[in-house]
Chains A and B, each alone.
Chain A
Amino acid sequence: MRHSKVKQTIDSGVIKNRKSSSVLSYRLKCAKTANGLSHFVMYGDVPKEKTVL
């Protein structure tokens, strides 16, 4: 499996570490509020400037 080493993801200053293994269980939560977002992925959350995706 791919979960064989410590993974580090840096996204907009948030550092995410996860030690990898074949056993997984996790839950993520919003660090920022999701308020103002509609039920569609695309409406209501257009960033101020173009985000490089």
Chain B
Amino acid sequence: MPEGLHFWKNHDAASVMLDPDNLFWGINARQNHPDVLIPPAILALYEKVKNQLKREIKEFRFGQELTAIYIDPTDRCNASCSYCYISPKTRKNGRSMTQEELDRVLEKIAAHFKGQKRKQVIIFHASEPLLVKEILFNAIRRYKHVFKFGIQTNALLMEKKDVVFLKKHRVGVGISLDSFSPAVNNRQRFSREEKGNFAKAVKAIEWFKGYAGLNVITTITKFNVRDLPGLVKFLHGKKVPCVLMNPVRFTRAPIAALKPDDAVLTRCFIKAVNTAVRLSKTSSHKIIVGNFTNTLLAIIAPVARRLMCDISPCGGGRCFFTITARGDMIPCGEFTGLKQFCGGNIFTHSIPEAMQSRAFRKVRERMVEKISECKTCAFRNICGAPCPAELHSLGDMYQKAVFCEFYKNIIKFAFQVIAQDKVRYLVRSDSWSSLTYKYCLN
């Protein structure tokens, strides 16, 4: 048996082989035999390409450069979501950047990337960036030729004219929505004035009217887990092109009480993906579940992956980092409030200083080879054992991932989807058209 290969019978009885270090895989979909059967042609192909693939994966995991910076322009929020990774005290009393401070930050980032051909990505993120809408929109106007912009919002302050502005400037927009049911959504995404963001978020989604840069982010808890398939259907009806369905992260102690049951989560998530496939196949509008698409890409096109949470080391402090409203540079927003993970302040330190800081290195040094649960797992470079901030908050960054069993089942499901040739319904059309075969056996 070639060293490094894992073999198993998948859920659909197909035989699967996978090398976890270079992500070479093969599927034999014959279902009438109880044993794992891998044809010699796959093994021959493996021998031919394995070293090249290993180099490619190594470069992808350790050689990727900084391409995106998150800016949290304010600590404050007009909602109080039950699972927020920012403490209630900070959300209530935190500070906001001034226009001058935001300009200084963007100038410093622009100077850092000066001379590079491509535009870097700036994403305005948590708490609620639209609380300082004016300074953000001024920045977008001023720097639109320098950066690509994105914004993540609960939409409570979104107005129709803002939608026009964001579409005009091709800003990527993420809107938070947890259910098609107002009651379920508003229980999780509560706001004092509006009693929840459901009505405003749905109105904003309708204003965007199928905008290609729109996505919806859903945080999965035990309260909305059963709504996932219905939410896909609801968003498809609103012409949303992409939804991310992320299990809740345990970055603060009280959040653990919201954990969905692993088996229920797996079942409902798979049902949501199957709903997306069915709707995309039978209508003129395509909707993808973005994080499942990323899992698929991890198998069929590993270096085309765009979400960096399921790569090891993760993208935090490597491909992206976060600048807080105080100017602190932290590896990822999930590390907000964890002082030992501050790599310096943008007003007094340089970006290279932050990238080389002990805080950032600590996150980059965490890789699946050092995690005992992952050492023997075939899926270690598909799931990446997220998330270091969450696991650090739970006491040890190197412990088993909270949703390990869920990820394992979803990856097995992804192999099933590949065997059933449904991949094209699960990848954005523009992404699909930019992919070509490196090799193909059959």
Q: Contacts A42-B172, A51-B430, A53-B286 hold; do A2 and B420 have CB atoms under 8 A apart?
A: yes
In the complex, are the beta carbons of B301 and A41 less than 8 A apart?
no
Q: Contacts A37-B67, A38-B123, A51-B429 hold; do A29 and B436 have CB atoms under 8 A apart?
A: yes
Of B27, B67, B214, B428, which is within 8 A of A36 by CB? B67
Chain B proximity mask over A20-52: 1 for CB below 8 Å, otherwise 0 = 111111111111111111111111111110111
Residues of B within 8 A of A50 (CB): 210-212
In the complex, are the beta carbons of B441 and A25 less than 8 A apart?
yes
Q: Contacts A36-B148, A38-B320, A46-B212 hold; do A30 and B304 have CB atoms under 8 A apart?
A: yes
Q: Contacts A3-B442, A20-B442 hold; do A42 and B242 have CB atoms under 8 A apart?
A: yes
Residues of A within 8 A of B430 (CB): 12, 45, 47, 51
Cα–Cα, bound, A38→B314 (Å): 13
Q: Contacts A23-B441, A38-B67 hold; do A28 and B421 have CB atoms under 8 A apart?
A: no
In the complex, are the beta carbons of A40 and B211 less than 8 A apart?
no
Cα–Cα, bound, A18→B421 (Å): 11
Question: Would you give the shortest CB distance from A42 to chain B, in whole angstroms?
Answer: 4
Question: Would you give the shortest CB distance from A12 to chain B, in whole angstroms?
Answer: 4
In the complex, are the beta carbons of A26 and B300 less than 8 A apart?
yes
Interface of B: prevailing SS: mixed
Is B435's beta carbon under 8 Å from chain A?
Answer: yes
In the complex, are the beta carbons of A27 and B300 less than 8 A apart?
yes
In the complex, are the beta carbons of A42 and B436 less than 8 A apart?
no
In the complex, are the beta carbons of A36 and B26 less than 8 A apart?
no
In the complex, are the beta carbons of B434 and A32 less than 8 A apart?
yes
In the complex, are the beta carbons of A41 and B435 less than 8 A apart?
no
Cα–Cα, bound, A35→B120 (Å): 9
Most B CB contacts (10 A, CB to CB) among A1, A16, A24, A52 go to A24
Residues of A within 8 A of B421 (CB): 2-3, 7, 20
In the complex, are the beta carbons of B418 and A41 less than 8 A apart?
no
In the complex, are the beta carbons of A43 and B121 less than 8 A apart?
yes
Which residue on B lies nearest to A14, using beta carbons?
B433
Chain A proximity mask over B272-297: 1 for CB below 8 Å, otherwise 0 = 00000000000011111010011000
In the complex, are the beta carbons of B294 and A41 less than 8 A apart?
yes
Which residue on B lies nearest to A41, using beta carbons?
B290
Question: Would you give the shortest CB distance from B410 to chain A, in whole angstroms?
Answer: 16
Of B53, B215, B309, which is within 8 A of A42 by CB? B215
Interface of A: prevailing SS: loop
Q: Contacts A1-B419, A2-B421, A27-B301 hold; do A39 and B28 have CB atoms under 8 A apart?
A: no
In the complex, are the beta carbons of B306 and A40 less than 8 A apart?
yes
Cα–Cα, bound, A47→B171 (Å): 10
Interface pick from B37-45, B79-87, B262-270: B37-45
Of B29, B174, B293, B428, which is within 8 A of A43 by CB? B174
Which residue on B lies nearest to A49, using beta carbons?
B212
Residues of A within 8 A of B440 (CB): 18, 25-27
In the complex, are the beta carbons of A53 and B420 less than 8 A apart?
no
6 sample A-B contacts, Cβ–Cβ < 8 Å, listed by A number:
A28-B304, A29-B436, A39-B306, A45-B148, A53-B286, A53-B287
Known: A24-B26, A25-B439, A27-B24. 16 other contacts (CB 8 A): A11-B432, A16-B437, A20-B421, A21-B442, A24-B29, A26-B438, A26-B442, A39-B68, A39-B307, A39-B309, A40-B150, A43-B68, A43-B174, A46-B148, A47-B212, A50-B210
Q: Can you list the 7 inter-chain pairs with the closest CB atoms, starting with the nearest?
A: A43-B150, A39-B308, A46-B213, A11-B433, A38-B68, A42-B215, A44-B121
Taking Cβ atoms with an 8 Å cutoff, the residues of B that contact A are: 24-30, 39, 41-42, 45-46, 49, 53, 67-68, 118-121, 123, 148, 150, 170-174, 210-215, 241-242, 244, 284-288, 290, 293-294, 300-304, 306-309, 315, 319-320, 418-421, 424, 428-430, 432-442
